[in-house]
Structure 1
Amino acid sequence: MKIVYILDTLARVGGVERIMADKMNWLAANGHEVTLITAAQGQHPHSFRLSDNVRHVDIDARFHVQYRYGYPMRLWVRWRMNRRFQRNLNREISATDPDVIIATTYYKADVVCSLRCRAAKIVESHCARSFTGRRDGVTRGRVVRWFHYFFLDRYIRRIEQRADVVVALTDGDAREWSKARSVCVIPNVYNNECAVPACRGFKRVIAAGRLVYQKGFDMLIEAWRTVAERHPDWTLDIFGAGEKETELKRLIDRLALSGSISIKGPTKRIIEEFSGSDVFVLSSRSEGFGLVLIEAMSCGTPCVSFDCPYGPADIIRDHEDGILVENGNVQRLAEAIIYLIEHEEERRAYGLRAAENVKRFLPDRVMPRWVALFEGLVK
């Protein structure tokens, strides 16, 4: 089967990029012809390993260059990039003649769904429908915000009207896509062979993700103030980068927590960091799924997470392999972290069960569902 994935780029270090690379590699290893089409990869290396059996084509439509200009020149450059994207994408699709095309809600899914070709069009929802493009932490004036939401709503409606199938990661998000032509649920996969440490005792809690409003690190830092008062010998390391970094560092200084909280940069060795910690915390206001929870749990690291929409409740089995906390309740988040710190045997038991429970997300258990979807659409 000929399968095409369409992304902006595979240069960023992020959950979507990692998932896409793993899925393409699995499909290519299992006899399918897989092509990745990017718009703005350029000469940047792949952020995650891509199999030699996956064909990669970049169509050179770099929308980010528009931000070098002010208005109205920016609108002209954007229009030209849109024309180039559609022209080059149509040419590549015509040459490849795929059976299935997959896009994500993050990038040009409405354009992909409008392609005139025989291929089935699938859109993956990697962020809950109601949050797509909205909770980005950008401050906009009333007029700009109105236009922003207006075009977002049009974008979502086009996907619902034109995609053959929208694939959601969770049941909650699937319910939000009820107006789409067809919806199914297939969770993310993880491809991590992590040896669970025989013993722990690092007195270390970690968190990881983009330093943006959505990820809620401000709430985690607030919660850590309570944890540090009770257990000053424990530390919190946050791995990531983003627009809120300076703001978060100021919050750490203001709360006098610089001795116990460190903001690290992004790392490609996050699995080693999971294995070298006692607890992982997810403080997001919303999630598309929460792949980082699976990665931490696969290393035997118990997790504390807000029960945010959507994902954590589909992954963590509350008080069996981790703890779910009322979304946005900072005090309860602190109490859950303290509970795991003070109950060592239970913490280790949670970790062992976590490593076993997340095996249901291994590629060989999830990817056959994708193949079945492809085959059903092609027939």
Structure 2
Amino acid sequence: MKITFLLHNAYAIGGTVRSTLNLAGALAARHEVEIVSVLRTAEQPLLGVHGDVRLVPLVDERPDSAAYDGGHELMARPSALVPPTEVLAHRYTALTDARLRAFLDTTDADVLVATRPALVVVLAEHGPRHAIRIGQEHLSYDNHVPGVRAAQNEAIARLDAFVTVSARDAADHRRRLPGLRTRITDIANAAPRPRAEPSDLRAPLVVAAGRLVPVKRYDLLVEAFAKVVAERPEWRLRIHGQGPERANLLAAVAAHGLGDHVFLMGPHTTLETEWAKASVAVVSSAWESFGMTILEAMHAGVPVVATDCPHGPGEIITDGSDGLLVPPGDPDALATGLLRLINDPGLRHVLGTAGRATVQQYEPATIADRYERLVTELLGARRPGLVAGMGRWLGLAVPGQVRRTGRATPGRWTRWVAPGRAARRAGTAPATETERRPSRPSADCRVDARRDVQVSVDWSDTSGQDLVLVLRHRHGDDELRVPLEREAPHVPLKQETPRLAAHAALAALKPKAADGTRSQSVREAPDAIGDRWTVLLSRTRPPLAEGRWDLYAERAADGVRHRLRAGLVEQRSLLTSEFTGAGPVAWWIPYTTKDGYLALRTFRREAHAEVTALPVGEGSSAVEGVLHGAELGAGAALMGVARSGEAADFEAPVEATGRHLPDGHPSRGHLFHGRLPSLPGPTAPGKVIWDLFLRPASDAEPVRLGRLFGDIVDRKDTDKYPEVTLPTTSGGSVRARYFFTVTNDLAVSVSRPE
């Protein structure tokens, strides 16, 4: 069977994209699967696509691409197919109309699945009648604007089936659309088992993830977390995602004084590694069509506190058994639920373990099987005369049908293989561009409990050869070469994929193909997964200079070198490991670059002042931290060094504090507190920037203040502080704001009030 998914943009990050890619990958184990992406906005899909799934973009929006469609005359004309009130209607044009219609006019797909209202409308109107046509609802009935709701309702009546992701929403659709012949049912989203290790529930960290939009009620979450911090100040909240509410949320964080506790992390392509860092997950939404983040957190063994909102959380979580449900719209209830788990490590482990059992029912193979059974039932509902001629839709030959081999198979259901795929298997089809392209190396990376970095390289073109890992300093000529050691091949267990359940004959028989061989309803797993090469990089052997290091794999025999694509990068241990303060300060953070490569951020300093908190308010500004590699003494001071000669440098006294850092904090050293009672005023219009240092004693060299420890490579993107009014030494006032530089060091910018 050939199954095609119509997706708005497979190259973006989002719940619909993630769930579609999961389902397509699972179905590709038994069928020919393709994803048609209306738009292409990146070189590669950010979330990755299963290797057996074909990806077909229709309109290229990349300005630097040879296939760029931005200058096409039809791009300037609005779409005539998409409802104008559709949220993304502005992204659809006469060109997307033309490309969609051309595709639908020529496709040989047996099943077409549309994943958003605009595409449901197009599929209903222009999809080929020979195909099974299915619409999906990734929101819910009451969460579309009226024009879109009316257009989609009309389209649903012309489809074979319409699938929601929750039972309650399917019931809503059936109640609102009585008398339709269209099959309306619910099938949950698929949640694949992550490759990352599950959480150890040790870090004092709460994690939420989703688009920054009003319905997620992250404003309510920030308010609730202020109540959490009042009781447990060592805990932090990270919110992963992007969206229009970012500025409002930053303002809410500032208003509650939570700059040291709540962090907006931006989008992340591999959330499985971020769930593995959490000890509690939270969903604060006013409504959820399903709850993919709940499943992802459960897979990581992280207990979830979720609002019992329509429609998804209550269908996934059993309150008190595998998670906690709280009333929506109530910050006190949300804070109480969070504190219940924060204050009870035993309950965290119990609910986290139960969640890992619950999530198994959402395995991709199980969800794919439900879609297969739906298609089987839809096929059976077609006119009886058509059924005998449509067996190939299920990858089957019906009883008595003559297969392409010319031999009859009376009384048997057998697997149908597309001619193109059969030719590729036989080696008679020309190689595709992807098949001709040499493989490129990729690498997984993991930080262990000692903060050493293990790199595991996969390069399929190098069987039997020796490899070298090359680390090259991005802004210098420094280069380090480390031999890679070959791992033993991994032999996976062969797991049987569920068969189509709708036909009793298929369940009862292990059919033979026309040539007498057994038909394969699942792809056989390879006998072994190819060679991998590993190395453990110790922070002390070899010592690396501070900076950013790009990683390459090189064949020792001929010197061919390729930069490593990033696979799974696991940094969890960086949140709970301690820096002892012995020797030079060294901290390594492996990470994925914006263009998808593996890199290593290294910090190495003889002494360092780690900033732990920046208490700020109108008329008040302070710095708290831990000094490593030096001793606090008489004359200790904060120092501001102006970047230009337009302002004077300044000093402010620092005192040691006996206050202890919370358990689990990755710093051990001399705690200090410094307050900035006033600042020099700018002598010219515009902003003045001072870089901040700690002078440990009157006769000591200044030490840079910064935030190096932990797992965050670029603090300037995540650690945000509000602008406040401070007095000047001359009697006026200025507006001042702390910020972290590109090297994660602390600075303060100052401007005159307007």
TM-score (norm 2): 0.45
CA distance in 2, matches of 1:364, 1:213: 34
- Could you tell me whether the CA contact under 8 Å between 1:194 and 1:299 is conserved in 2? no
| Structure 1 stretch displaced more, 254-263 or 76-85 | 76-85
Deviation per CA, 1:211-269: give whole Å up to 9, x if none.
Answer: 11111100100111111111111111111111111110011101111121111111123
- Structure 1 residues 1-379: aligned runs within 5 Å: 1-30=1-30, 32-41=31-40, 43-60=42-59, 76-79=77-80, 83-117=94-128, 118-132=130-144, 134=145, 149=146, 151-178=147-174, 179=177, 180=180, 181-194=182-195, 197=198, 199-379=200-380
Deviation at 1:57, TM superposition (A): 2.1
**Local SS of the residue matching 1:300:** coil
CA distance in 1, matches of 2:276, 2:337: 20
CA distance in 2, matches of 1:108, 1:352: 39
**Local SS of the residue matching 2:359:** helix
CA distance in 1, matches of 2:257, 2:199: 34
Number of equivalenced pairs: 353
- Could you tell me whether the CA contact under 8 Å between 2:79 and 2:96 is conserved in 1? no
Unaligned runs of 5+ in 2: 62-69, 82-91, 381-754
CA distance in 1, matches of 2:253, 2:118: 34
Deviation per CA, 1:146-204: give whole Å up to 9, x if none.
Answer: xxx3x223213213322221111111100111115221111111112356647432111
Unaligned runs of 5+ in 1: 63-67, 135-148
CA distance in 1, matches of 2:103, 2:281: 43
CA distance in 1, matches of 2:48, 2:358: 26
Pair 205,76 (structure 1): closer, same or farther in 2 beyond 3 Å: same
CA distance in 1, matches of 2:100, 2:270: 34
Pair 280,271 (structure 1): closer, same or farther in 2 beyond 3 Å: same
Pair 232,319 (structure 1): closer, same or farther in 2 beyond 3 Å: same
Deviation at 1:42, TM superposition (A): 5.2
Deviation per CA, 1:324-344: give whole Å up to 9, x if none.
Answer: 011211110110001111111
Deviation at 1:84, TM superposition (A): 3.5
**Local SS of the residue matching 2:59:** coil
CA distance in 2, matches of 1:198, 1:167: 33
Deviation per CA, 1:313-358: give whole Å up to 9, x if none.
Answer: 1111110111001121111011000111111111111111111111
- Could you tell me whether the CA contact under 8 Å between 2:80 and 2:97 is conserved in 1? no
Structure with bigger strand share is 2
| Structure 1 stretch displaced more, 77-86 or 159-168 | 77-86
CA distance in 2, matches of 1:129, 1:235: 35
Deviation per CA, 1:26-81: give whole Å up to 9, x if none.
Answer: 21221x1212212111554212222343222222287xxxxx9xxxx999434496
CA distance in 2, matches of 1:74, 1:88: 11
CA distance in 1, matches of 2:301, 2:50: 28
- Could you tell me whether the CA contact under 8 Å between 1:17 and 1:47 is conserved in 2? no
CA distance in 2, matches of 1:288, 1:295: 15
- Could you tell me whether the CA contact under 8 Å between 2:299 and 2:355 is conserved in 1? yes
Pair 321,114 (structure 1): closer, same or farther in 2 beyond 3 Å: same
Pair 195,86 (structure 1): closer, same or farther in 2 beyond 3 Å: closer
- Could you tell me whether the CA contact under 8 Å between 1:25 and 1:54 is conserved in 2? yes
- Could you tell me whether the CA contact under 8 Å between 2:77 and 2:94 is conserved in 1? no
Pair 90,156 (structure 1): closer, same or farther in 2 beyond 3 Å: closer
- Could you tell me whether the CA contact under 8 Å between 2:104 and 2:127 is conserved in 1? no
Pair 265,2 (structure 1): closer, same or farther in 2 beyond 3 Å: same
Larger radius of gyration: 2
CA distance in 2, matches of 1:185, 1:218: 31
CA distance in 2, matches of 1:128, 1:202: 35
Task: Letter of the 2:289 partner, please give it.
Answer: G
**Local SS of the residue matching 1:23:** helix
CA distance in 2, matches of 1:53, 1:196: 26
CA distance in 1, matches of 2:149, 2:375: 28
CA distance in 1, matches of 2:199, 2:219: 33
CA distance in 2, matches of 1:61, 1:158: 30
CA distance in 2, matches of 1:27, 1:260: 42
Deviation at 1:283, TM superposition (A): 0.6
- Could you tell me whether the CA contact under 8 Å between 2:196 and 2:273 is conserved in 1? no
Task: Letter of the 1:169 partner, please give it.
Answer: V
CA distance in 2, matches of 1:58, 1:348: 44
TM-score (norm 1): 0.87
CA distance in 1, matches of 2:42, 2:196: 35
Higher relative contact order (CA 8 A, sep 6+): 1
CA distance in 2, matches of 1:84, 1:262: 40
Pair 85,362 (structure 1): closer, same or farther in 2 beyond 3 Å: same
CA distance in 2, matches of 1:29, 1:377: 21
Name the counterpart of 1:65: none
Task: Letter of the 2:10 partner, please give it.
Answer: L
CA distance in 2, matches of 1:256, 1:173: 39
CA distance in 1, matches of 2:42, 2:251: 36
CA distance in 2, matches of 1:245, 1:199: 30
Name the counterpart of 1:139: none
Task: Letter of the 1:165 partner, please give it.
Answer: A
Pair 253,58 (structure 1): closer, same or farther in 2 beyond 3 Å: same
- Percent identity between the two aligned chains: 27
- Could you tell me whether the CA contact under 8 Å between 1:203 and 1:235 is conserved in 2? yes
Deviation per CA, 1:255-292: give whole Å up to 9, x if none.
Answer: 11112111111112321221111100001111110101
Pair 193,264 (structure 1): closer, same or farther in 2 beyond 3 Å: closer
Name the counterpart of 1:142: none
